[in-house]
Amino acid sequence: MKYDFTAIEKKWQQRWEETKPYAAVTGEKDKPKFYGLIEFPYPSGQGLHVGHPRPFTAMDIICRKKRMQGYNVLFPIGFDAFGLPTENYAIKNHIHPAVVTKNNIANFTSQLKMLGYGFDWDRAVNTTDPDYYKWTQWIFLQLYKHGLAYKTTMPVNWCTSCKCVLANEEVVEGVCERCGSPVVRKEKSQWMLKITEYAERLIDELDDVDYIERVKIQQRNWIGKSTGTEVDFTAANGDRLTVYTTRCDTLFGVTYMVLSPEHPYLDRWKDQIKNWDEVAAYIDEAAHKSDLERTDLNKDKTGVRLAGVEAINPVNQKKIPIFVSDYVLVTYGTGAVMGVPGHDQRDWDFATKFGLPIVEVVKGGDITKEAFTLKDDTGIMVNSGFLDGMTVRDAIPAMKQWVTEQGIGRPKTNYKLRDWVFSRQRYWGEPIPMVSCPKCGWVPLPEDQLPLVLPEVENYEPTDDGESPLSKMTDWVSTTCPKCGGPARRETDTMPQWAGSSWYYLRYMDPHNGKALASKEALDYWSPVDWYNGGMEHTTLHLLYSRFWHKFLYDIGVVPTKEPYQKRTSHGMILGEGGEKMSKSRGNVVNPNDIVSQYGADTMRLHIMFIGDFEKAVSWSNEAVKGSKRFLDRVWNLAEACSDDPAVTPANEAVVHKTIKKVTEDIDELKMNTAIAAMMTMVNDFSANGCSKGDIRILLLLLSPFAPHMVEELWEMKGFAAETGKMAMQNPWPEYDESKTVEKRVELAIQINGKFRGTMQAEADLDNDAVAAMAAGNELVCRNVEKLGGRIVKTIVVKNKLVNVIVK
Ligand SMILES: [Zn+2]
Ligand SMILES: [Zn+2]
């Protein structure tokens, strides 16, 4: 029979659809639970690309093995469907985003089913479904009620093309991450979430989870905790100018100050600044630059000295100039910095350019950024008054104490992490359930009025003034105040794309619950997610956001664990042939549908796992896919031809136990490629040694998580389904015996015509023909045969002892 993958895959997918072998059972007490999670996809119009199957297949394999090992497994799927690509497509093609979303989800669903993933489809969620986003809105209201959501006017990143506010994380090299258009700064009133309140715990509690190290490092760096000192400088006019520094030991070396162009003092000092026109022009210019452009270390230092206003260094009462420069961001620290050109590269560049004094205060301290980050704190203080002669290590606490005693400073912990901009002026997002009343201010919508459903609009285009298209829906916007009953207006901003994904893993636990985001029983049973795999690019966005929401939900008693995910791993990207990033414009995008129709889903699954080290980027190769197909063909042929013996062939025993061990351990360590290589070796040995039904049974069980369709077909064909009354995937994972994984080897004496000539190593208990064949190929034997000028006429084997080669 031919390996007809198209018919086989269709047959088994239908069987799984009917019998639901992947259904998770909430509350099952007899089995341990395992919750495996992948990042749910954004259902784009292009459909699934070849990057999706890599993490999806890996977690599917893990979950399938766990099921066979007796776990009650939850492996869910859903769709993160709000957001700009769909909205932009809807605008361009005049189709409602809800319709676009529905079509895209249907397409994704059929593609995911085509690949044979063992998802519990009855738990599928869609973030744009009002039954889902009712709870996203509910969580927002809880955040608001606990003081963690607030509205404020602030400079924001504004994409000139998308006409919407971007989070810092969405601005890449000064341009919009989505469309590549320039990003400018704009003052806007925004809803904000106080993620900064959780900064400390988001760092500390990383110690309690099993994340790969690079994820932990990226999160720690992003949160950017530093312990330093706030120091009050004074402007000559009496205004207090506070700076934050981690190096208060260098205060005697401060020779100038710099204010951010957005610093409120600039406007306040308008009349005292003699060169105001020049300053105003500089401020305007800075408004058109992104944060990244402004803080680029290599850029030319620019700035304007404020004429007529000076500051006083509080440690030596010296008058120092004040500059405005765009490398200082108002959202960072206090928006004012002190310049220490003797010991900081950027300050040195700045001082040199503007002809400012450079004072050395640490002897032997290099003028480099590295020196300033305190790698070496053994430098000796000079030109620093009461600090002279101390090491940097001692000078920092001494100065900290001194400024505190003088009342001009205080210890301060700083974080780079900013609060999360949580509104956007677009249509396709969750409505923010808040009402603005002229009398009462912002009033939350009563919870029994949730979900606040997104109304139908004629036009989804953002307005030219940057307001949401919802603002044009007067019927929807005009409402009554829930508090005083007077006329009021609804918030017309919607939530950012990161909202729905911040808690979706909780909804999977109990997706149809109408009374709560999930029942307590389901939350207690399934929490936390045992293993979450996802892209490195989500480390400082989604992963951090969802940890923040989870910790908040824990604090208010909704969820039972402090952390949402016990383990986090990450996969490398799949690049196009030749190692370039896959993109439409390069024409190197691989569509999984093409691979599946040509070779089958099992080959696709196997290949995407065999392609290379899971954590590293790899290039796709159409040629290499064929190798994976050939392997499955060999398994198929071997299974057809095997003997009816139900026992494992003695000659195969060692490879069987070795392979079980290897595949079992490799799956747990995400080394799918080496697990497959081990099965390939096993198949080679089966071919060489001969193969029984007992051997094939083990191979099928090990291969089942990787190539489930073909395995079930062979399992049925060989009669195992009838024998066990179960599919292969429902049988226990094979066990190995450690002692049998080691091949026993013996040393055989080599005799030529009865005379001892040397020894050779061989597997113990090898049959005589195999030993004779080995001897014939042995170098020592060959040399002797040649020397005697004859040929081997007979070989006598004494099992595990000697081999006597007769040459004539
Ligand atoms: Zn854009
Ligand atoms: Zn009111």
CB-based burial of residue 128 (10 Å sphere; 0-12 exposed, 13-18 middle, 19+ buried)?
buried
Query: How far, in Å, from the CA of 179 to the mean position of ligand 1?
Result: 4
Residues of the chain by 3-state class (helix, strand, coil), percent to 5: 40, 20, 40
One-letter identity of residue 601? A
Query: How far, in Å, from the CA of 435 to the mean position of ligand 2?
Result: 9
Query: How far, in Å, from the CA of 441 to the mean position of ligand 2?
Result: 7
Query: How far, in Å, from the CA of 668 to the mean position of ligand 1?
Result: 40
Q: Nearest ligand to the C-alpha of residue 183?
A: 1
Label the pairing between strands 171-172 and 175-176.
antiparallel
Q: Nearest ligand to the C-alpha of residue 486?
A: 2
pLDDT, residue 177, reads: 81
Q: Nearest ligand to the C-alpha of residue 424?
A: 1
Phi then psi dihedrals of residue 112, to 5 deg:
-65, -35
- How far is the first Cα of the chain from the last one, in angstroms, to the nearest whole number? 48
* Structure token digits, residue 482: 């829930």
* Gap between the Cα atoms of 561 and 694, Å rounded: 45
Query: How far, in Å, from the CA of 702 to the mean position of ligand 2?
Result: 65
Query: How far, in Å, from the CA of 485 to the mean position of ligand 2?
Result: 6
Q: Which residues are 533's β-sheet partners?
A: 38, 569
Query: How far, in Å, from the CA of 83 to the mean position of ligand 1?
Result: 12
**Is the backbone peptide bond immediately before 451 cis, with ω within 30 degrees of 0?**
yes
pLDDT, residue 375, reads: 54
* Structure token digits, residue 662: 């290897």
Label each residue of 68-132 as H, E or C: HCCCEEECCCEECCCCHHHHHHHHHHCCCHHHHHHHHHHHHHHHHHHCCCCCCHHHCEECCCHHH
- All residues at 6 or more sequence positions from 91 whose CB lies less than 8 Å from its CB, including other chains: 460, 461
Q: Nearest ligand to the C-alpha of residue 482?
A: 2
- All residues at 6 or more sequence positions from 431 whose CB lies less than 8 Å from its CB, including other chains: 137, 452, 453, 454, 470, 490, 491, 494, 495
pLDDT, residue 763, reads: 78
Query: How far, in Å, from the CA of 735 to the mean position of ligand 2?
Result: 68
Distance of CA 134 to the CA centre of its chain: 26
Query: How far, in Å, from the CA of 426 to the mean position of ligand 1?
Result: 12
Query: How far, in Å, from the CA of 162 to the mean position of ligand 1?
Result: 4
Q: Nearest ligand to the C-alpha of residue 182?
A: 1
Query: How far, in Å, from the CA of 462 to the mean position of ligand 2?
Result: 28
Q: Nearest ligand to the C-alpha of residue 166?
A: 1
Q: Which residues are 441's β-sheet partners?
A: 437
| Other CB atoms within 10 A of residue 622 CB | 11
Q: Nearest ligand to the C-alpha of residue 181?
A: 1
Query: How far, in Å, from the CA of 616 to the mean position of ligand 1?
Result: 29
pTM: 0.84
Query: How far, in Å, from the CA of 503 to the mean position of ligand 1?
Result: 26
Task: Please check whether residue 468 is in contact with residue 476, taking contact to mean a CB–CB distance below 8 angstroms.
Answer: no
* Gap between the Cα atoms of 86 and 80, Å rounded: 11
Quick one: how many helices (H) and strands (E) in the chain? 28, 32
Query: How far, in Å, from the CA of 163 to the mean position of ligand 1?
Result: 7
Q: Nearest ligand to the C-alpha of residue 163?
A: 1
Helix axes of 130-145 and 542-555: crossing angle, nearest 10 degrees: 70
pLDDT, residue 297, reads: 66
Q: Nearest ligand to the C-alpha of residue 178?
A: 1
- All residues at 6 or more sequence positions from 128 whose CB lies less than 8 Å from its CB, including other chains: 81, 82, 98, 101, 428, 500
Label each residue of 272-323 as H, E or C: CCCCHHHHHHHHHHHCCCCHHHHHCCCCCCCCEEEEEEEEECCCCCCEEEEE
Question: In the Cβ-directed half-sphere of 198, how many Cα atoms lie within 13 Å?
Answer: 26
3-state secondary structure of 675: helix
One-letter identity of residue 597? S
Q: Nearest ligand to the C-alpha of residue 435?
A: 2
| pLDDT by 10-residue block (mean), the chain, 808 residues | 94 98 95 98 90 96 98 98 88 90 96 98 98 98 98 84 76 81 84 97 98 97 93 92 93 96 93 95 85 73 94 95 91 86 88 94 65 65 94 93 95 92 91 97 97 88 78 91 97 94 98 97 98 95 97 98 98 88 81 95 97 92 92 97 95 95 97 96 94 97 98 98 97 94 82 91 80 87 87 89 92
Query: How far, in Å, from the CA of 529 to the mean position of ligand 2?
Result: 42
Task: Please check whether residue 324 is in contact with residue 269, taking contact to mean a CB–CB distance below 8 angstroms.
Answer: no
Question: In the Cβ-directed half-sphere of 237, how many Cα atoms lie within 13 Å?
Answer: 14
Helix axes of 601-610 and 672-689: crossing angle, nearest 10 degrees: 110
Q: Nearest ligand to the C-alpha of residue 439?
A: 2
Label the pairing between strands 487-490 and 434-437.
antiparallel
Q: Nearest ligand to the C-alpha of residue 479?
A: 2
* Gap between the Cα atoms of 271 and 259, Å rounded: 17
Query: How far, in Å, from the CA of 552 to the mean position of ligand 2?
Result: 28
Task: Please check whether residue 368 is in contact with residue 360, taking contact to mean a CB–CB distance below 8 angstroms.
Answer: no
Question: In the Cβ-directed half-sphere of 280, how many Cα atoms lie within 13 Å?
Answer: 10
